[in-house]
Amino acid sequence: MKLVTVLMLAALPLCCYAGVGCNVLKKVIDITYDPSVSVSDYIDDVQEFIEGEESQKAFKMLKECFLNQSVETQEKANEFQHAVYDSFWCARY
């Protein structure tokens, strides 16, 4: 599970670099890290990105993975993503 999380986090800056839209991506990441958002609310919020049942399972697993982490781990992951969004590469988009 940690490998899946690491791979997804590694792919996020590439999406930003490709011009997908840092603001949309930032919103999804913020609700992923937010422990006050339940899995069902999370799925409702990201429904536009879910194409099938397998994608929905992947989103559920991702959210549950973050909910099972300590507060300190969640904060550090969030700091990492904000460092990416504030980077030179995302500033262009």
Q: Please indicate whether residue 15 or residue 44 has the higher confidence score (pLDDT).
A: 44
Average pLDDT over residues 26-48: 87
Within its chain, how far is the Cα of 69 from the centroid?
14
Regarding pTM above 0.75, the answer is: no
Tell me the per-residue pLDDT of 58-67, one tens digit each, with 9 for 90 and over: 999 989 988 8
pLDDT band at 80 (very low <50, low <70, confident <90, very high): confident
Q: How many residues can be counted in the chain?
A: 93
What token pair was written down for 20? 């997908």
For 8-33, how does the pLDDT look when each residue is reduced to its tens digit (9 = 90+)? 666 655 555 555 556 777 788 888 88
Question: What span, in angstroms and rounded, lies between the C-alpha atoms of 39 and 64?
Answer: 7
